[in-house]
Amino acid sequence: MRAGESSERAIVLAPTGRDASVAANLIREAGFAADICADLDALVREMAAGAGLAIIANEAVKTADLRKLVRSLGEQPSWSDFPIVLLTRQGGGPERNPDAMRLALALGNVTFIERPFHPTTLVSVVGSAIRGRRRQYQSRSILENLRESEGLLQTALGAGRLGALELHIPSLKLEASDTCKMFFGRRPEQDFSYDDLLASVHPGDRARRQDVFDRAVARGSDYSIEYRNIWPDGSQHWVEIRARSVLRPDGGVRSMVGVCSDITARKVAEIERETLLRQLAAERTALAELTATLEHRVEQRTADLMKEVAARERAQEQLRQAQKMETIGQLTGGVAHDFNNLLMAVMGNLDLLRKRIPDDPRLRRLIDGALQGAERGASLTQRLLAFARQQDLRAVSVDLGGLIRGMIDLLERSLGPRIELRLDIPDRLPPACADSNQLELAILNLVINARDAMADGGAIVIRIRDRRVSGDHMLPSGHYLELSVIDTGEGMSEETLKRAVEPFFSSKPLGKGTGLGLSMVHGLAEQLGGALRLSSTVGAGTTASLVLPVAVQLPEAEAPVPVQRQAGRSAVILFVDDDPLIAMSTTEMLEDLGHRVIGVSSAHHALDIIRSDQPIDLMVTDHVMPGMTGMELAAASRQLRPSLPILLATGYAELPEGALLDLPRLAKPYHQDQLRDRLDQMLR
């Protein structure tokens, strides 16, 4: 493939010797496109034209001015992480060469190959880089699709090559789409029964597939699995199936409805990647052993210096890790905010549609299913916002011991009979400063993680300790409570422990976890002014400690029972939002509640109306808008109509830094009932 938006060609810069022609020929023989660049400027131009990766000889950049290249890499869109393969001389890798390490930091996604190299090594690395580039192109497409309206959902599913299927229980009659049949090697016109599906399952996966299916039917839970299947032509493929149980009124499963996809390419790529990682690990181990031998023979009198260097490297690694997590958090928070806007449009329209459709139980089930899916998406964005430390928290004084004792029934049901739960909670503990709902979710996440680490059963201890912190690099000095969940499970390796709080990283089998549990707990702890500490030993269990600041006030008393809600009055509402989908659905919801709506798409237009004589009872505004934010609009409107009630409806959890107004807020996505209750409070 030549240059273009999704180019997979390799561009080669090796100005001396025959390295450029040798590398290009090897790449072409492997079935990939390759072009040779004369100099660094030509390389930057070819990158801009479109490429899958760059192969650069170390001598081409060792003394060159890299500013254009670094600037080009720095200007990549968020989905892109352009791969670079750096050809070094023997011993020129980042482990022993500070120059190579600086290049890696400057250029980003760099893989080192020491010359002379075996042809298969280069071809394997190029193949892995191009597959990674393909996934980046796929990520770009996904991000672009997320900006589309809900009306493009079916088109997106078709482009994603998802097959649909429904299995009726107990008749086991299977209905499969043409795409689904294709994933099992059948043509659209061919029959494909449940017996055909069972017969296609790889013998090595049949027992596991049947066990997962039986448990889903018995419990009425979701069915999610990946397994191998054999096509009629004898070829082996991988398929992923995700389905939801549709229940009868008596609680039994009526059918399993879901989607399937062919994941053969991904599985093959994962196997190849694991093979390459094992090879790299072996080479790294051999290099480490050689380095240790040399260090033992040569540098006995400089032990203190080596310790200082090691400490500096650890500090730099901690700084890099912190910066990486901060960058991931910012990106995650932005994506979650955009996703909240999309869910707002979907949920608002479904709310209205549910009220206006004919009394058809099947249609209502379909709409309820769509709403449940949207609410699961909203739950996912809350986890993402928790990791990004942007979730909406109500930090109050909380009795930790009382909160945990109140969760005992829930925890024991989640653990099952093979796990023993013990409490180690002293009396007369000071209260903690926390959000009760989010804290319960965090504790449940930690307990379930501990349960999953003990497949053969064991014991979990929930312990609380009162502690003072002084001089801790992770926490300011002060008074804290440490809530620890201690298990006797399989434990984590040092490498797994380092990555445990990264979003979407999971040590569980495929399909068994989102990888967001610990990252959510980590984000919650930091947002509350505390920390999450993890310690683990392989084979000896894990301790997850949630450290929370002590509250300065006593726990709040239980809220009185709310009085019966009175019907709200009809009002003239100025609604401001630049997103046309959200504007349409929210306007419909407001008018359905009996209000008269004046809808505008910008803050400047809203100010023109506020300056006029138009009667307005209340203003509802988004925060993030071009030209002027919702907070800035609120401040300007207060100068014109000081008594005008203002509701800030936004996907961002925290007010911007330096905000002068404390406005009532409604978090996106919201239902019509939530909007109605908030408006009734303000209008009363």
Tens of pLDDT, residue by residue over 393-408, are 667 889 999 999 888 8
Q: What is the distance between the alpha carbons of residues 293 and 45, in angstroms, rounded to a whole number?
A: 45
Quote the tokens at residue 674.
């939530």
pLDDT score of 440: 84
* pTM above threshold 0.85: no
pLDDT score of 511: 45
Q: Which residue has the higher pLDDT, 80 or 650?
A: 80
CATH 3.40.50.2300 fits 572-683, yes or no: yes
- In 345-370, which positions are buried (b, 16+ CB within 10 angstroms) versus exposed (e)? bbbbbbbbeeeeeeeeeeeeeebeeb
Answer yes or no: is pLDDT of 596 > 60.
Answer: yes
Answer yes or no: is pLDDT of 602 > 50.
Answer: yes
Q: What percent of the chain has pLDDT over 70?
A: 78
What number is the average pLDDT over the span 564-593? 82
- For residue 34, give every residue at least 6 positions away whose Cβ sits within 8 Å of its Cβ, in sequence order, or none: 9, 10, 11, 12, 23, 24, 25, 27, 28
Greatest Cα pair distance in the chain: 88
Tracing tokens 């549990």 back to the chain, one arrives at: 517
Answer yes or no: is pLDDT of 106 > 60.
Answer: yes
Q: What is the pLDDT of residues 245-302, one digit of tens each?
A: 999 888 899 999 999 999 998 888 888 888 888 888 888 888 888 777 777 776 756 7
CATH 1.10.287 fits 292-387, yes or no: yes
What number is the average pLDDT over the span 529-555? 86
pLDDT score of 473: 63
Quote the tokens at residue 411.
């925890």
- pLDDT category at 562 given cuts 50, 70, 90 is very low
Q: What is the distance between the alpha carbons of residues 605 and 598, in angstroms, rounded to a whole number?
A: 11
Answer yes or no: is pLDDT of 559 > 50.
Answer: no
Q: What is the distance between the alpha carbons of residues 94 and 105, in angstroms, rounded to a whole number?
A: 10
What number is the average pLDDT over the span 224-230? 95
Q: What is the distance between the alpha carbons of residues 340 and 380, in angstroms, rounded to a whole number?
A: 10
Answer yes or no: is pLDDT of 79 > 70.
Answer: yes
- pLDDT category at 238 given cuts 50, 70, 90 is very high
pLDDT score of 155: 58
Answer yes or no: is pLDDT of 206 > 90.
Answer: yes
pLDDT score of 142: 79
Answer yes or no: is pLDDT of 227 > 50.
Answer: yes
Q: What is the distance between the alpha carbons of residues 196 and 59, in angstroms, rounded to a whole number?
A: 59
- pLDDT category at 1 given cuts 50, 70, 90 is very low
Q: What is the distance between the alpha carbons of residues 666 and 675, in angstroms, rounded to a whole number?
A: 8
Q: What is the pLDDT of residues 139-197, one digit of tens each?
A: 888 777 766 644 444 555 456 678 999 999 999 999 999 999 999 999 999 999 999 99
- Check for a shared fold between 155-262 and 572-683: no
Q: Which residue has the higher pLDDT, 555 or 547?
A: 547
- Per-chain mean pLDDT for the chain: 82
- For residue 348, give every residue at least 6 positions away whose Cβ sits within 8 Å of its Cβ, in sequence order, or none: 582, 585, 586, 588, 589, 669, 672
pLDDT score of 298: 63
Quote the tokens at residue 305.
């210096």
- Superfamily name with CATH number, domain 396-549: Histidine kinase-like ATPase, C-terminal domain (3.30.565.10)
Q: What percent of the chain has pLDDT over 90?
A: 34
pLDDT score of 532: 87
pLDDT score of 476: 82
Please state the domain extents for the chain.
Answer: 10-146, 155-262, 292-387, 396-549, 572-683
What DSSP string describes 494-550? HHHHHHTTSTT---SPTTS--S-HHHHHHHHHHHTT-EEEEEEETTTEEEEEEEEEB
- In 245-259, which positions are buried (b, 16+ CB within 10 angstroms) versus exposed (e)? bbeeeeeebebbbbb
Answer yes or no: is pLDDT of 668 > 50.
Answer: yes
The count of C-alpha atoms lying within 13 angstroms of the C-alpha of 147, restricted to the half-sphere facing its C-beta, is 6
What number is the average pLDDT over the span 552-557? 61
Between the CA of residue 10 and those of 55, 77, 100, what are the distances in Å? 7, 20, 21
pLDDT score of 89: 79
Q: What is the pLDDT of residues 44-71, one digit of tens each?
A: 999 999 999 999 988 888 888 888 998 9
Q: What is the pLDDT of residues 438-479, one digit of tens each?
A: 888 888 888 888 898 888 889 999 999 998 888 666 788 889
Answer yes or no: is pLDDT of 503 > 50.
Answer: yes
CATH class of the domain defined by 10-146:
alpha beta
Pick the CATH number of 155-262 from 3.40.50.1820, 3.30.450.20, 3.90.1010.10, 3.40.50.300: 3.30.450.20
What number is the average pLDDT over the span 516-535? 81
